[in-house]
Structure 1
Amino acid sequence: MKINFRSILSIACLSALSLSTFSCSEDDTASATSSETSDYRPYHLVIGSSPTGESETYAQGATVEELNDPNKTFTFNGYGQEIPSTRTARLYTSNDGETVYNLNYGGGDIAKYDFIGGQTYNLQLTTDVQAVMGTAYPRWTKIDDNYAMIHNVTTEHIYEDPEDETSPYIKTVATVTLARVELSSMTVVENNSFEYPYNEAESNAGIYTFRIDAPVITDGKLYYGVAKSFYDALTGENGDMVYDHVETLVVDYPSLENETIISSTLAQGSTNGYRTPVAHKDEIGDTYQLVTSGDVSIMKISNGAYDEAYGKFDIQALLGHNAEANTGWFYVGNGIGYVPVLNTDEGDSESSNWDVVRVDIYNKTAVTMNIPLDLWLRQYQWASVIDGKLYMALASLGGEGKVYIFDPSSTSADGYTTGATLQTGTTDASYIGLF
């Protein structure tokens, strides 16, 4: 079901994608966001119109003072600018908050907006990347304030006789395509394609890589999370994938060459995530990677390999129930982060049975935060660190919520304060981030 906002779906809004300033409210004096000055960069509240892949996406700006104000209410009822995308927008912002970047997933283009204020954003540049990526459905990750990486995997089942799928199955070839985008000009400055480095035993068994995502850069190399699938040649269909290890694709940066893989059998599952950061570098330079299928756990990558001495940080074992963290997580600093976790004893990823769990990656502790909301966080994309605390926009699906401000110095389940009230404006909308 799609939102029927009275203003933001107007013809004017839908036709305003030009190099001009525009907003999509019947009343530009709407009070959802004031024009008061702030000592901080601007931030952006973003909502998805429904819990489906095809949901529309809307944004509005906010000051830090407003986010902290318990008397402030943000609403998307007749307010907010649509960030156009074929499916839910994939957003990032510049470090100063003045620019918003979007991948139109399903549309095959990337766009850059200047933030003017309130619900007003100015489209600056768009670039069609389908010719480079070979698909309208690539994924992307902002690497730093200058560059982003776009990535995609295509697969082909290879038979002894290419014209006869009843002939003996040989393997499934996965081809990786990478492109580096300069954000100032929104142009591709490097790209490369290569066959994913496959394991012969896995390949013969019909196991192949079908997705990579959420890279981090360390010591001149990109580390990509990996998801695999199982092809049953007897049925000609995909079957249930059973992992016996975790794996990461590594390429040189910025050349995007010299592809290798690292792996570990200490954990089992995918490492690619969904729309949320999955791996983070700490202050020392080590990388901590969430396992995003199977049991909730975190692995450490140090000096270009999985750290066997660190082992597996088994988060699920500390929670007391079966759980999965199939989106990603947010790192605050000094070993403390927060993980959206699904209680799989209570339902699948489409259910409102999500928690936010505080983790200490150094001491391997986990605490479920005491949030009195029925949370659905499958499409949650971003949280912001402000003054050493993590700010998350959390609301029940189609209901109200708050800006939650998590204090990493507190080990309590109540280690947070709340700020502004958040309204969704429709029965099936959800906040997907504070950018």
Structure 2
Amino acid sequence: MKLAVVGGGSTYTPELIDGFARLRDTLPIEELVLVDPAADRLDLVGGLARRIFAKQDHAGRITTTTDIDAGVADADAVLLQLRVGGQAARNQDETWPLECGCVGQETTGAGGLAKALRTVPVVLDIAERVRRANPDAWIIDFTNPVGIVTRALLQAGHKAVGLCNVAIGFQRKFARLLDVNPSEVHLDHVGLNHLTWELGVRLGGPDGENVLPKLLAEHGDAIADDLHMPRQIIDRLGVVPSYYLRYFYSHDEVVRELGTKPSRAAEVAAMEKELLAMYGDPTLDTKPELLAKRGGAFYSEAAVDLAASLLGNGGSPVQVVNTRNNGTLPFLPDDAVIEVQARVGHEGATPLAVPALDPLYAGLIANVTAYEDLALEAALRGGRDRVFKALLAHPLIGQYEYAEGLTDRLIAHNREHLAWA
């Protein structure tokens, strides 16, 4: 089995490598190729990756390359985890929207649109290379904004499934609070990527007992603290929203907060500098503890589980993924990409049935899906007017004056990445 990781020079890759090493029985990788244009970073990350495999007695071969075509050749699956423009572009996404009084964030609002515009054309080019190399290869997309990127891949006819670590993070947290094995916890996880709610927490399987009321009654304060939301809103909803709902439920508060501290991108950039220095130590053969602060907890476990299922090598039969709606949420078009529990196998992902949603959730999902339609159109076809319409449609923006100002700033800060600008 051969896997390729495009964006393999990421400082977070050792987390993925550690998961591949620990979970070799689930996903028996014979060859792993790390692909990245940044040769210096790739050498450091690749060296540590080989030492981690050796430390854990994994017999798989790890190679590195800056050549995408060479890297994906004959791969059974390709994992995408790239960041076009690096942390510098992310820093811009998180700062210039604040000038208009809007949230600065890399996956939602104006910053999320900027990332989509930079990313979609690059991902589609890579996907075409994968298809030429091996039409049967699966593409696992961990590149944000996952929903929009996965939709672009599926609309272009690629074999793709989107992946996010939010659901597995909740699963592991709830398992600790309930003192049970994570495999016993199943989530009624519904929404779009980075716009989801846990409507139920079930023990034993998708049809098991719903223990969410017990969790909220006994651990509501801890859950609310982790989400940086008031306990009151969690109790009133009776569900657990993802952290990203804070940008919607507390938008103005978050804008004020973001204006008083360094961007997350600046924090990550400083962390990455320190991590790369560690990776250069030839005696380091485990992932450093600092990596846990980098974000993406449990990403490796989710990636292994999904790849194993898609490649017919086991894996959990039901997983939370990003895949085509196909009538699951009847108020959305079939080609919308939703994030829900799905049955996953070598034929792909099929969403499980979802009960009728409260308008409180369905309305916001429909609104953001309409924005994603326009965002993808702007990413594929370009043009100032398409960017403006996408921004105007986003529920975190929605005002003509804001959309105009944000359009100008988005184009100015991303001109080098926009072929049409």
TM-score, reference length from structure 2: 0.24
Q: Which has the higher contact order (CA 8 A, sep 6+)?
A: 2
Whose strand fraction is larger, Structure 1's or Structure 2's?
A: 1
TM-score, reference length from structure 1: 0.23
